[in-house]
Amino acid sequence: MSKYDSILKLWHKWNVQTGADIDLRLDSFRILFAFNSGKIENEAITYNDTREIFENGQVSNYTGSPRALFETQNQKLCYEFLKPKIVAGEPLSIPLVKSVHEVLTSGTYDERRFIKQGERPGEFKKHDYVTGRTEVGSTPENVERDLSELLSEIAEITDFNAEKLMKSAAYFHARFEYIHPFADGNGRVGRTLLNYFLMTKNHPPLIVHEEDKRGYYSALECYDTSEEISPMSKYLKTQLEKTWAKTLSRELKRDEDSR
């Protein structure tokens, strides 16, 4: 059995169905996810500060950027916001995507975006922002149409096996980042929604590790230039295995010791 299949088997064995189950299984994960997802785009974020915010709701002797604290606190709030929706299996929708963006970016828009450009958390971009080497991104007037089409495509997929699920998740994430629907926070929103999608399909979430971000950007670029999904699918599978490697090892040792 492959490591990926073993992780899926372990997740299904846990039978995660309630908010308490999610808290139990994602106790350490949620902190590591917030740290890595934030650090991909903001070098000021540290693991210790992230842990302090999640566990104690505050940090001590902090001298860095206030934005980094807002982003980390917002990730904690978003975890709580999405937890009951994961349990209910609420499908992805335009209102849900906007709500996630509003929670994750509240208080983080700078003067240029908020005042000069009139951008707001929870609202699609009003100006044309490009991203990546190939300068992709839907125009503001096409964002809602393009995102609605993506969400409809995902909703039409009902026959999921593990391989198809990972490919669907890779397509959703790459396409979301290609659309680039917001003025800021697209990466954090996209990675959060990726895990939301996986968990509503009874699949363990994953961390895109900051130290592996070059591979992440490369996989996104492959989609941007040729609409090729395989690099992102393979990358996410590798990150999933890395995310759960220590937990899987502990569980296998516990099983051996109990025999």
User: Which stretches of the chain drop beneath a pLDDT of 50?
Assistant: none
- Contact in structure between 59 and 108 (CB atoms under 8 Å): no
Q: Report the C-alpha gap between 259 and 249 in whole angstroms.
A: 16
Q: For the segment 54-101, what is each residue's pLDDT rounded down to a tens digit? A: 998 888 877 777 888 889 999 999 999 999 999 999 999 999 999 999
Q: Report the C-alpha gap between 203 and 8 in whole angstroms.
A: 7
Written as six digits, the tokens of 162 are 């593990």
Q: What pLDDT does 187 receive?
A: 95
Q: Report the C-alpha gap between 133 and 166 in whole angstroms.
A: 25
> Could you give the domains of the chain?
3-258 (1.10.3290.10)
- Contact in structure between 148 and 214 (CB atoms under 8 Å): no
Burial zone of 214 (CB within 10 Å; 0-12 exposed, 13-18 middle, 19+ buried): exposed
Q: What pLDDT does 180 receive?
A: 95
Total length of the chain: 259
Q: What pLDDT does 135 receive?
A: 63
Q: What pLDDT does 132 receive?
A: 60
Angle at 74 between CA 155 and CA 229, to 5 degrees: 35
Structure-token match 């409809």, residue found? 152
Q: Report the C-alpha gap between 229 and 170 in whole angstroms.
A: 7
Q: What pLDDT does 1 receive?
A: 81
DSSP-derived letter for residue 114 is I
- Contact in structure between 119 and 113 (CB atoms under 8 Å): yes
**Neighbour tally for 139: CB within 10 Å:** 10
